[in-house]
Structure 1
Amino acid sequence: MTSALHKRTLSTGYVDAWFCFTSDPRLTSAQQQYEAMLSPTELQQYQQLKHADNGWDYLVSRALLRTVLAEYCELAPEELEFQVNDFGKPELSNSSLASVIQFNTAHTSGLTVCVVTRDHAIGVDAECRAENPGILNVADDYFSSLELQALKSRAESEQLDYFYRYWTLKEAYIKARGEGLSVPLHDFSVVLGDDGEFVEFVGPQAESWDFRILCQNSAYTAALSMNAQIIGLNYFNSVPLGPQSEHTAADAFNNLSVVDSARRNRIG
């Protein structure tokens, strides 16, 4: 169906963060090609989700993952095979680079994200910003005492923003660990500075972990965690099997500028 794309290389400590807005009108013409990429298990999941009105987000997320990973492997998107560990974390299973390429994905309403690095475990989380202050009530159930104290010390107008920062950072760490909710959320803390950026991790093997807020805007918050120092981040918008564009940290995840930027700064 498709051939493998040009091979990208990765350097230890660097992360490529790929994102796609599922409302992008450029996606619709490739729907059948995306469906043809899916494994039987993915296709079954897709068919189930179509009845729940979130099948499209799932389809685009799998297409993004497959086309992105194909750029780091010597395989076409539809040839990639995955396995999951006991807690459901996916890994490549049929690439000679399976032990080298580390990746994780997240998708939320309207947005899918895939992060790729080498050698070290990585996790990502993305959340659609529900402007519902009631969501702050779950912080008592999932945040550490240190995080709760810091959150409640913020001005009331800032608390929702900081809630999503803490939440996505913690979820990214859980996903990077690949041990599911067997890791108690109360047993570790992320510390944020006055600017809302990551400052410190308080938890097991703290010196081995690094974190970043990938984006926070009026629509989304996304964050990543890696079991090594994050030396650099690259941001790419991708329409699977279509155009790609590189972004700065400041303009990444801005849905209004993606199409125009892709026309100006196309890389694929």
Structure 2
Amino acid sequence: MSPDSVLVRWLPVSAIAEADWPVLSALLPEDEQARAQRFHFRRDWESYTVAHALLRGTLTRLAAAAGHPVAPPDWRFSIGAHGKPEPILPEGVPPFRVNLSHTRGLAAVAVALDREVGVDVEWLDRTNLTIDLADRFFAPAECAQLVGLAPEAEKDALFAFWTLKEAYIKAVGMGLALPLGAFAYTLDPLSIAFDDRIQDDPDSWYFQRLRPTQGHVLGLALRHEAPERAMLDAAPAGLAALLRLAG
């Protein structure tokens, strides 16, 4: 990875065979495996397991490429006040910053070098992301962009705003402690603006919208002092390579 790059990988749950699940689970340390087992619904166990296996496997492959082998279960993380994980880096390992997200049927991770990064994925069939929710939580400038849109365009814009907002608040490590109405996106061209509740520079952010599958959308936020230099490396994760790490 270069200092200007951000790596994004995603993995659909539908790509994982039943026999693969114990192998993926083996990439997690025992405490994370136990946490996953406490989920009531199988789909939640699957989402958690694939997201954390993908995160650990991605870090392992990046560290190995830099000449520092670390087994997937051996990564340790500090957790911020609002739940953001950051790897506790072994000596010599590059300064990776990470974020992960999972939703019904998909997990994704983002990795950058010593830069704040956030990623969010959403399942397009979720039913609670509506105009009413936008009116309650989005900035007025965003709500204005939704006026008069055809139904499909309205849905696309709703999910774009939501994933991008989640990506930003995850990147800065604030979670929903940061009011969603305190910042507003413009979708074309893609940019952000802050009100006086947030002291941040809108020109220091790189954003992207992606469609990793037909049924999912992804939003990415990367702090970068020169966003025009940011380089995106986004692709599906290689499941076979991930499974080999458990061997």
TM-score range, shorter chain: 0.7 to 0.9
Gaps of 5+ in 2: 195-199, 243-247
Aligned to 1:226: 222
For residues 225 and 162 of structure 1, the distance between their equivalents in structure 2, rounded to whole angstroms, comes to 17
For residues 151 and 224 of structure 1, the distance between their equivalents in structure 2, rounded to whole angstroms, comes to 21
Change (3 A) 1:45 1:190: same
In terms of mean alpha carbon deviation, does 37-46 or 202-211 score higher? 37-46
Tell me the SS of whatever aligns to 2:62.
coil
Change (3 A) 1:43 1:147: same
For residues 101 and 216 of structure 1, the distance between their equivalents in structure 2, rounded to whole angstroms, comes to 23
Counterpart among 33, 42, 55 of residue 45 in structure 2? 55
Tell me the SS of whatever aligns to 1:72.
helix
Aligned to 1:163: 158
For residues 127 and 40 of structure 2, the distance between their equivalents in structure 1, rounded to whole angstroms, comes to 27
Whether the 8 Å CA contact 1:64–1:239 is kept in 2: the answer is: no
Aligned to 1:215: 211
Q: Share of identical aligned residues, percent?
A: 27
Supply the RMSD in Å over aligned alpha carbons.
Answer: 2.2
Q: Please tell me whether residue 46 in structure 1 is matched to residue 36 in structure 2.
A: yes
AA partner of residue 150 (structure 1): Q
Q: How many residues align?
A: 229
Aligned to 1:21: 12
Query: What TM-score do the two structures reach when normalised by structure 2?
Result: 0.84
String of CA shifts for 1:90-122, please: whole Å, max 9, x gaps: 010142367711111111111111111112100
Aligned to 2:190: 199
String of CA shifts for 1:202-238, please: whole Å, max 9, x gaps: 0231111121102276411111001112622112322
Aligned to 2:97: 102
Whether the 8 Å CA contact 1:120–1:226 is kept in 2: the answer is: yes
Tell me the SS of whatever aligns to 1:71.
helix
Superposition deviation, residue 165 in structure 1: 0.5
Gaps of 5+ in 1: 1-9, 245-268
Query: What TM-score do the two structures reach when normalised by structure 1?
Result: 0.78
String of CA shifts for 1:32-84, please: whole Å, max 9, x gaps: 23222323431222011154542112111111111111012221111111120
Q: Please tell me whether residue 82 in structure 1 is matched to residue 77 in structure 2.
A: yes
Change (3 A) 1:146 1:188: same
Counterpart among 146, 154, 158 of residue 151 in structure 1? 146
